[in-house]
Amino acid sequence: MRIGIVCYPTFGGSGVLATELGKALADKGHSVHFITYQQPVRLNIFSANIYYHEVRVRTYPLFDYPPYEVALASTMVDVIRNHDLDLLHVHYAIPHASAAYMAKQIVKQQGRTIPVITTLHGTDITLVGKDKTYEPVVTFSINESDAITAVSNNLREETFHSFPITKEIEVIYNFVDVARFNKKPIDAFRKVIAPNDEKILVHASNFRKVKRVTDVIRIFAEVRKHQAAKLLMVGDGPDRPIAEELGRDLGVDADIRYLGKQEQMEEILAISDLFILPSDYESFGLAALEAMAAKVPVISSNAGGLPEINLQGETGFLAPVGDIAQMSADAITLLADDAKLQQFKDQAYAQACRYDIQNIVPIYEQLYSRFCRME
């Protein structure tokens, strides 16, 4: 098939998932056309089956807000026509689903049909999408999609709850390439971070408010009262300065390393013992799944779709949002017992294997085949 994938090219989970999906589809012989405004961060390979079409937004002194959605729809039309696409798969509703609707109408006038599949990822529904600035367009463009998928049951239910959606929403869980994440730790790297064999905790996110990075620091400070440990903070974003300040106030800053945005997550996870994700909401928590694939158990909140991924007392522990005392207690208990920690590591890995790329990508292919002929 010739598939157009529209996504954000940044480190966010939706862009990562869309890029990994495109790479996997290309490996299986499909032609994959990425349409976005910048080379996606995980699009770091050469494949004869992968094409990248950059959306260029022309500026003009009149525009306070350059019209990205118009440029995106026009690029979609261009790629549909010139590369004879069989379908468009858009990740994150805003503005990708409405731009796809526009492109679909334009090519329809020329006698061509192009199925549009919209995958909802989370904040497009729970935070941004239901704001009344966007809601009517989001509702319309989701309903106009030929198929709608959500990355967890929780997100499916949230979508029905917040929007008058008239179509079925299919749940297709996010996936991870287990083979890539199941790596041996690089001893020299571990020695640099934890020279005295301290346990290593890790958090990865975009450091937005929803991620509650200050909870991560507070949990770590509690753990440090009981044992020597290090904390790796991966990613960057608006709440980094307050996390740094809190670390200094709590006297644990010397044991925290901010690594910034990292492409080689598997190497960081390979030396880690525990992943912390205390978010206000996660539709899925792809970062937690990647941790589990690297045999790292997860201490998380029980918000959104996290209980579907992180299994209480098996792959890690969950607690209500903001319950720092419970999350700290669970982390301390787990880190203090090497046999139990190893058992959780193995169980986390087994859970990640259920979401392996090999199991999930065929579900997308089956979905596509309902809308266009397989070659």
Q: Can you read off the two tokens belonging to residue 98?
A: 């409405």
Please select the residue that binds ligand GMT; options are 100, 210, 265, 270, rule is CB under 6 A. Answer: 210
Residues in the chain: 375
Span of 8-16, 71-79, 128-136, 356-364 interacting with ligand GMT by CB under 6 A: 8-16
Please report which helix (H) or strand (E) contains residue 276, including its range.
strand 274-277
In the complex with ligand GMT, which residue's Cβ is closer, 146 or 282? 282
- The residues in 62-121 that bind ligand GMT, with binding defined as CB under 6 A, are 92, 121
By the 10 Å C-beta count (0-12 exposed, 13-18 middle, 19+ buried), 196 is classed as exposed
Which of the residues 286 through 305 are near ligand GMT (CB under 6 A)? 286
The nearest distance, CB 78 to ligand GMT, in angstroms, is: 26
| DSSP state string for 286-351 | HHHHHHHHTT--EEEE--TTHHHHSPBTTTEEEE-TT-HHHHHHHHHHHHH-HHHHHHHHHHHHHH
Distances in whole angstroms, Cα of residue 363 to Cα of each of 168, 175, 367: 16, 11, 6
Contact string 115-154 vs ligand GMT (x = CB under 6 A): ------xxx---------------------------x---
Choose which of 31, 36, 159, 283 interacts with ligand GMT (CB under 6 A): 283
Q: How far apart are CA 46 and CA 155, in angstroms?
A: 33
Among 139, 174, 272, 315, binds ligand GMT (CB under 6 A): 174
Q: Is 281 in the site for ligand GMT (CB under 6 A)?
A: yes
Measured from the CB atom, is 151 or 269 closer to ligand GMT? 151
CB distance 177 to 360 below 8 Å: no
282 contacts ligand GMT (rule: CB under 6 A): yes
Binding positions for ligand GMT, rule: CB under 6 A:
12-15, 17, 92, 121-123, 151, 174, 206, 208, 210, 281-286
